[in-house]
Amino acid sequence: MSTQARGLQNFISDLRNAKSKTDEANRVAKELANIRAKFTNSQSLSSYQKKKYVWKLVYIFMLGYDVNFGHAEVVSLVGSPKYSEKQVGYVAMSLLLKAGDSMMNLVINSIRNDLVGSYDDAATSLALVSIANVSGIELMNALHVEVQRVLVSPNATPAVRKKAALCLLRLIRQLPDSIASKEFAEHIANLLQDRHLGVLTSTMSLLIGMASKHEMEYQTMIPYAIHILSSLVLKRACGADYLYYRTPSPWLQIKLLRFLQYYPNLMSSGQTYVPTLKQILARILNDTDVSDSINKSNADHAILFEAISTIVVFGDNGDVDLQNAAMRLLGKFISVREPNIRYLGLMTMSRLATLHNASNKEQIKTYQSTVVISLKDADISVRRRALDLLFVMCDGSNAESIVDELITYLVAADAGIREQMVLKIAVLAEKYALSKKWYVDTILKLISISGDQVSDSIWHRVIVIVTNNPEGDLQQYVAQTMFDVCSSKTAHPKAVAVGSYVLGEFGFLIAEEAGKSGEVQFKVLQQHWAVVDSATQGIMLTAFAKMSNLYAELQPIIAPIFLKLKTSVDIELQQRSNEYRILAGLGPDVMEDILREMPAFDTEKVSTLEIALEQEHTETHDKNIFSKKKQENGEGASPTRMVGNHAANPPPGPPPALEPEPDLLGGFDDEISVVVPPAAPPAQKAAVGISEDQIPGMRSSFAKLCSSAQGVLFQNAYVQVGLKSEYRGSQGRLQLFVGNMSGTPFNNLKIHIPEVPYLRTAISDESGPTGALTSAGTLDANQQKRLMIMAEAIAPYADVPEVKISFETDTETHTYPLRLPIVTTKFTELLTVNKEAFMGRWTQLAGKESQEIVATGVPGSPERMQKVASLLTSLNFGRCPEVDNATSVSGCGTYKTGAKDPSGKNISVGMLVRIEANADKFRVTARTLHPTVSASVKTIFCAALKEI
């Protein structure tokens, strides 16, 4: 083999020895030209040469290069009678030919011959695997009948049947109606009587895929599935080849249980096999124990959790004793230290909690304190499942304690789980509200603690509930509360939005109280104008209009605001201000009629928050029966699929005893097999990273470093990351400093700078080149590590490279992902042109611009425009003062790259930018020939303008 593949080996060696990406591309181009020349006269090529050149094409394609020829040679190899050539042909066909290629029609007959006209198992297996990999519609329509014939053929070997079953599964996922389900059920029944466990496992994958589409057509397979389960669980009838750490074929057991979950009313059908099924489930629940072997423990617990999931799916029609036994087991699992088991225990208990069994509800509540502890686990996946369980176990009796506990934890929760927590707290507060006032106070707590994660739908619900409940003193209470909240200068913008609506609608209810007159309410809201977004400003304008209608003394104060905003750059604000300004001139009667209180909102049958919560769960096809249940029912209730009142057709005779043949378990559908999902290992050290309150400072430091040569990129009590840089043309040299600011050494210090396609980088430290990952070992207290980065721009880009710094102390693990300010403008050379040249080029680039309006909250002034002009220079753009006026700054620059054009010259991109001021806003417009460069320049200037 080594002699025959010498040419391929030499080619691979040449590519591995290439000193740069350019050298590799040149070698590939040379080889492609040589292969193309050889294929022009393919009749003279020997079998060895044809295989060698096709293998080279496959390897080139796998490296990421386009291969758009050689298809005819691939087709000829597929049709060859020799296995060595056929193997090469099928591999190349799976990779190089796509579903819609015209050459695919030429290979169909060859594949058909290998499927039904060949007695060679190897050729048939190659054909089946290739069909599954290519899976084009035309290929499926032409060959799905032949695949079915191979599967049901009595002469097919177990190895071929396994591949045929999985190939057919791939086909029906693409073409669900390609099989007559009712007629094919008989063939599935015959396959389920096969003695080979590998065939049974693959058949069950196929059966689950078909049952997920047509449940009723395959309910007659239930007796077969229960019989096989009985043999594996009760009789342990399994040969040594399929014993996994003394567990009989766990993959097959899981698939059988998964299939039974498609028939939730099975336990109440009264069929003769129901007692056997109960006995099987009871045996799994009672006999599963923790093992010293992690592999056996994983396999046994995977079966156990699938059995519990089956009990959950059976729902209220299931056996109560099994449900109680499952609940007791889950109560143990959620207390163990092993995160995998605890994760699955929390997830499964939350599903079990959806049943309407009263004893389950009360039993689950006894674990509330244990679940709260898991809410503080180091593993975020465990925290998510604990949150789900708390949400499900909540009812009117414990809602207040659970909501208070969640709000308490929300203060310290990390950003990865905050949004989900906020949504679920809002749903619980609305669903089990002790009073409307308690609900409003709870939502305001959410806004004050985690306002950025409070979606608009959450505070919109507050508005709806307050508006729709005029009885009692709720509206007055909310007006009083929002007045107090908005009186603080640090009120969150979401709270200001709610306060603006409430005071505009119901502020008159408290206007008679001391210190809360209409004028005071107006001033309380107006102090937040500069720090809120335009959407909130629009709500404030509406509130101002209503206030001016209610309080005559405010009309001369509010009218100038509308007048000032009539030319606002924000279209919504401009329209509202003009409409309210004109409305004031139409007379008091018109204003009274238009600005009267809002009517009650339409009440939804289902809360919009609950709808938003449902949308978080992704739906799958045959992988997750629980997602399918939600899709059909809209809730967690049991689906309405029935087994039927009539007895399912029994098998023609008892299936033969399971006797494995000497064949390893072939490929089975790992997408729908169930294993214990990976979870983070037990946390021995606390995880420390970038806190939420440090993010604004990071953004500011990044923006400043975009226009300066050195500075601090990130700093906290433990570590300081500094940067020093210098650039010339398309190349830059940076020094990255990582300093130990703590009093203890850093262990296992790692600095990882992933490669990016738009930069050519070389990284080194004091000891020499390090590559993308630098492992510095230990960094003593008050010492620093220096890293040298050489970078060259080779393509336009709008992103920036990243650096990940991680280390450990005695009690903590630190991880800090940071962005490096190696932006487009760093590789820019300033350019100075006259007015005619600038305007001529500006006109030519019309339509190739990127534009954004930046609200800084600081009024414009000549001094501020001077800072903008200085910023332009610091970002390597040359001023064009002849083009500008008092409210605009324009500049030119050239983005330099190290990439070469066909003539061998470096590629450059000319750039124009124009910054126009209007009140406290800037409009940034960047125009270049390349849209990515335009977007990048615009983004950089917008970020920098916020810092001046």
Please give the annotated binding residues, written as ranges.
6-7, 38, 48, 52-56
853, β-bridge pairs: 923
784, β-bridge pairs: 739
Query: And the tokens for 662?
Result: 């000497």
Q: Are 407 and 449 in contact (CB under 8 A)?
A: yes
Angle at 866 between CA 861 and CA 870, to 5 degrees: 145
- Non-local (6+) Cβ contacts of 940 within 8 A are 706, 823, 824, 825, 875
Crossing angle (nearest 10°) for helices 181-191 and 137-152: 40
Query: And the tokens for 274?
Result: 């129901």
CA–CA gap between residue 319 and residue 477 (Å, rounded): 50
Helix-strand-coil split of the chain, %, nearest 5? 55, 15, 30
**SS3 label, residue 771:** coil
Q: Are 54 and 65 in contact (CB under 8 A)?
A: no
- What single-letter amino acid sits at 241? D
Residue with tokens 């950025």: 452
- Own/partner pairs, 432-440, CB within 8 angstroms, 24+ separation: 432/394, 432/395, 432/396, 432/399, 432/403, 434/399, 434/400, 436/465, 436/466, 436/469, 436/474, 437/474, 437/477, 437/478, 438/400, 439/465, 440/465, 440/466, 440/474, 440/477, 440/478, 440/481
CA–CA gap between residue 591 and residue 551 (Å, rounded): 13
If phi over 0 gives left and psi between -120 and 50 gives alpha, with beta otherwise, what is residue 742? beta
Provide Rg for the chain, Cα atoms. Answer: 35
Q: Are 625 and 262 in contact (CB under 8 A)?
A: yes
- Non-local (6+) Cβ contacts of 883 within 8 A are 835, 838, 839, 890, 914
Smallest CA-to-CA distance from 440 within 409, 462, 412, 408 is with 462
For residue 746, the surrounding DSSP H or E stretch is: strand 746-752
Task: Report how far apart, in Å, the C-alpha atoms of 132 and of each of 80, 173, 174, 275, 449 are.
Answer: 21, 11, 10, 40, 52
CA–CA gap between residue 436 and residue 768 (Å, rounded): 67
Smallest CA-to-CA distance from 911 within 838, 851, 847 is with 838
721, β-bridge pairs: 714, 738
Backbone angles phi, psi at 893, to 5 degrees: -160, 170
Q: According to DSSP H, which parts of 782-878 are helical?
A: 835-844, 862-874
Of the CA atoms within 13 Å of residue 55, those in its CB half-sphere come to 20
Residues constituting the chain: 948
Q: According to DSSP H, which parts of 411-472 are helical?
A: 415-431, 436-450, 456-467
Neighbours of 250 (CB within 10 A): 24
Query: And the tokens for 126?
Result: 């190659």
Backbone angles phi, psi at 733, to 5 degrees: -125, 125
CA dihedral 690, 695, 701, 705 (to 10 degrees): 80
Q: Are 200 and 166 in contact (CB under 8 A)?
A: no
